[in-house]
Amino acid sequence: MNLLPLVSCELRVAVRRRSTYYVRWVAGAAAIAISFWGLLIWADWKTPASLGHSLLEALATAGFAGAVLAGLLLTSDCISRERREGTLGLLFLTDLRGADVVFGKLAAKAILPIYALLAMLPALATCLLVGGVMVGEVARLALALLNALFFSLSATLFTSALCRKQRAAQASAFLMMLVWVPGWPLLGVALSDWTANPVWRQLAFRFSLAGSYFKAFDKGYQAAAGVFWGSVLATHLFAWLFLALSAIVLPRVFLEKSSERRQNSSTSWMRSNLLDGIRQRSLRLEYLERNPMAWLADRDRPRRRWVWGFPAVTILLWMSFELDPLGDPEGFVAFVVIHVFFKLWLSADASYAFAAGRRDGTLELLLLTPLSARDIAAGTLSGFRRRYLSPLLALFLVDLALAAWLALVGRLPSAILVGAAGAMLLVDAYCLCWVGMLRGLVARDSGQAILATLGRILLLPLLYLAFGAGIFYKSGPGELAVLWLFLSCFNDLIFLANSRSILIDHFRVLALRPFGEKVPRVESKWSPINWHDE
């Protein structure tokens, strides 16, 4: 077995990368910035005991989010990319086995998040100096974060071994983490409410990463220490199970027959023709005559039906929970997950459109036609509109109905928060399309494009809100919701104008650059560089 030589080789290559040092430095600097912000903002209105615990919660939340996202960003496409490029079979021409390849990939991809997490752990210990935090609490949180990182990398590595296409691998990895982080707890809460038996809640938390995280704090650990250790043990064993399954599956999946793929594709094409018939052909001819890019962006008809699951799940959760964001923690988590999942789905679709077209040469062929950059962007937006507009409006109407119901029962702050979330759903959806198209055009792959899009549209307003909440700490939830709405709209307006200008004015320059070449520096017409007297 060549496990140790392969792992050591992968580690040597990973350690020499410049990004390894940058990520470690950025993670440590982010932990210091969070600690400094908490000490600066909370010191005037929190007691020393509550200040130390609030700092610990902020740092632990950032670490847990990074551990969960590490698998989605690093290992969700590592094996499927090898299958697409045809290099996976070359590894098995040697005496390597499935376990060697799996652990080699795990070691190569785990070095970055482990360095980042280890750089953040000393910041957790500084909470001991502030007060209100015990050593056992910090140790349990460190154990929960390391276990969450190991599970995230192992589970997404398994989904990557099962899939060949990039979008399928990323979607499967996201679905896996969605089930194991908020999915099991929400299911347990729903079953406990229906059956009036709290055993379902405790059982669900034992199989979720959220159980080990929330029960690591002193308050949760004293109430249910068994749930914490059960969650750590169960998720750790499942992580090893996913690695074992990856090692078993991997030697069998790289033997793919092109004839079978052609047969399956022809069968699916015939099935779609029989189902759609004359109506499908007439719509295709109409779109091709009006704007070929509109047909190209909306070829996948079944995906349009999948998006309707978001309003359907929202109504189902409304019937299962009391969706009061300020009064029901489970309902608040479900509400946030649905909105974030919809925006993530839309941003992934928008980022993939031009990233895949540039990789397979579709954009070069489009630029040979009389279509202008404005026509290409308008056609892509037309495809997104036909696919997402109706489910988006349905989800928005559900939010409005929920906000109206909360206002009628006298929960005005919750109604304002739900209304602000519904309004931001419309604004973010339009902005995500433009920013996602631009990021997909300039990023190295669709994964980086999705991350850059979400960071600009979703993460930056939350950072602005964190500073605003620290300054206006006496404000209520409704006032903070209005502040979040204002900051998000202002942020979206800036990125929307910049992305639209660059995409239309410099589309040809960005699309025709050689693959792997550095993105040329272009400025939008809104940039201060272009401010000059006419």
Q: Are residues 305 and 156 in the same domain?
A: no
Query: Residue 378 — pLDDT band, cuts 50, 70, 90?
Result: confident
Contact status, residue 150 vs residue 177, Cβ threshold 8 Å: no
pLDDT for residue 187: 83
One domain for residues 361 and 429: yes
Evaluate if residue 534 carries a pLDDT over 70: no
Handedness of CA 297, 299, 301, 303 (dihedral sign): negative
- Is there a domain that residue 89 lies in? yes
Residue 294 forms part of a structural domain: no
Radius of gyration of the chain (CA): 25
Confidence of residue 228 (pLDDT cuts 50, 70, 90): very high
Average confidence (pLDDT) over 327-356: 80
Longest Cα separation, the chain: 74
d(CA 117, CA 132): 23
399 in Cβ contact with 419 (< 8 Å):
yes
What span, in angstroms and rounded, lies between the C-alpha atoms of 112 and 121? 15
Q: What is the pLDDT of residues 95-135, one digit of tens each?
A: 778 888 888 888 888 888 998 998 888 888 888 888 888 88
185 and 309 housed in the same domain: no
d(CA 276, CA 283): 10
Asked if 316 and 456 sit in the same domain, the reply is yes
Please report the pLDDT score of residue 319 as a whole number.
64
68 neighbors 177 (Cβ within 8 angstroms): yes
The model's pLDDT over 438-481, given as tens digits with 9 standing for 90+, comes to 898 888 777 788 888 988 999 899 888 887 877 777 778 888 88
From the list 230, 77, 38, the residue with the least C-alpha distance to 163 is 77
* Domain assignment of residue 62, yes or no: yes
Q: From CA 213, how far away is CA 228, in angstroms rounded?
A: 8
DSSP state of 180: I
Q: Which residue has the higher pLDDT, 13 or 160?
A: 160
Write down the pLDDT at residue 238: 95
Residue 271 maps to a domain: no
pLDDT confidence of 380, banded at 50, 70, 90?
confident
- DSSP secondary structure, 389-409, as one string: HHHHHHHHHHHHHHHHHHHHT
20 and 156 share a domain? Answer: yes
Q: At a CB cut-off of 8 Å and minimum separation 6, what does 451 contact?
A: 73
> What is the tally of structural domains in the chain?
2
- Do both 222 and 370 map to the same domain? no
What is residue 86's predicted lDDT score, i.e. its pLDDT?
80
Cβ-contact 342, 428 below 8 angstroms: no
Tokens of 238: 């499942």
Question: What is the mean pLDDT of the segment spanning 206-210?
Answer: 90
Same domain for 358 and 481? yes
Q: How confident is the model at residue 149 (pLDDT cuts 50, 70, 90)?
A: very high
Instruction: Count CB neighbours of 324 within 10 A.
Output: 21
Residue 273 lies in a domain: no
20 — pLDDT class (breaks 50, 70, 90)? confident
pLDDT for the residue 80: 87
How big is the CA angle at 165 (ends 161 and 169), to the nearest 5 degrees?
50
In a domain, 68, yes or no: yes
First-to-final CA distance of the chain: 71
pLDDT at 148: 94
pLDDT at 381 over 50: yes
Considering the domain boundaries, does residue 164 fall inside one?
A: yes
Question: Predicted confidence band at 268 (pLDDT cuts at 50, 70, 90)?
Answer: very low
- The pLDDT value given to residue 426: 92
Structure confidence by residue, pLDDT tens digits, 283-319: 566 666 666 666 666 665 556 667 777 777 777 766 6
- Residue 234: band (very low, low, confident or very high) from pLDDT cuts 50, 70, 90: very high
Two tokens at 45?
A: 């209105």
Q: Do 248 and 320 lie in a common domain?
A: no
Count of CA atoms in the C-beta half-sphere (13 A) of 26: 10
pLDDT tens by residue, 170-201: 888 988 998 898 888 878 887 887 887 888 88
Taking the C-alpha atoms of residue 401 and residue 408, their distance in angstroms, rounded to an integer, is 11
Among the listed residues 54, 216, 66, the one whose alpha carbon sits nearest the alpha carbon of residue 127: 54
CB 121 within 8 A of CB 30: no
Per cent of the chain over pLDDT 70 is 83
SS3 519: coil
- Lowest mean per-residue pLDDT among 207-216, 345-354, 424-433: 345-354
The pLDDT, as a whole number, for residue 388 is 87
Mean pLDDT of 198-210: 87
Residue among 291, 293, 448 at smallest CA distance from 355? 448
Evaluate whether 51 touches 133 at the Cβ level (below 8 Å). no
**Same domain membership, residue 368 and residue 319:** yes
Q: Which residue has the higher pLDDT, 85 or 289?
A: 85
Check pLDDT > 90 for residue 167: no
Q: pLDDT tier at 153 (50, 70, 90 boundaries)? A: very high
Structural domain for 81, as ranges: 1-263
Q: Are 237 and 306 members of one domain? A: no
Which residue, of 263, 283, 317, is where some domain finishes?
263
pLDDT grade for 279, boundaries at 50, 70 and 90: low
- 135, 117 Cβ separation under 8 angstroms: no
Select from 263, 281, 312 the last residue of a domain.
263
The rounded percent of the chain whose pLDDT value lies above 90 is: 17
Kindly report, residue by residue over 481-504, the tens digit of the pLDDT.
899 899 999 999 999 998 988 888
Own/partner contacts of 226-235, CB < 8 Å, gap of 24 or more, are 227/202, 228/140, 228/144, 230/206, 231/205, 231/206, 231/207, 232/143, 232/144, 232/147, 234/206, 234/207, 235/147, 235/148, 235/151, 235/180, 235/207, 235/208, 235/209
For residues 470 and 33, what is the distance between their CA atoms, to the nearest angstrom?
A: 14
In a domain, 60, yes or no: yes
Same domain for 241 and 380? no
Distance, CA of 99 to CA of 80 (rounded, Å)? 16
Helix ranges (H only) for 43-165 are: 48-70, 78-85, 88-91, 98-130, 135-162
- Cα 163 to Cα 158, 160, 435, 490, 500, distances in angstroms: 9, 5, 27, 39, 34
Of residues 396 and 39, which shows the higher confidence score?
396
Average pLDDT, the chain: 81
Instruction: Report whether 334 contacts 321 (CB < 8 A).
Output: yes
| Residues 255 and 304 reside in one and the same domain | no
CB 68, CB 209: distance < 8 Å: yes
- Contact in structure between 181 and 340 (CB atoms under 8 Å): no
Where is pLDDT greater, at 385 or 531? 385
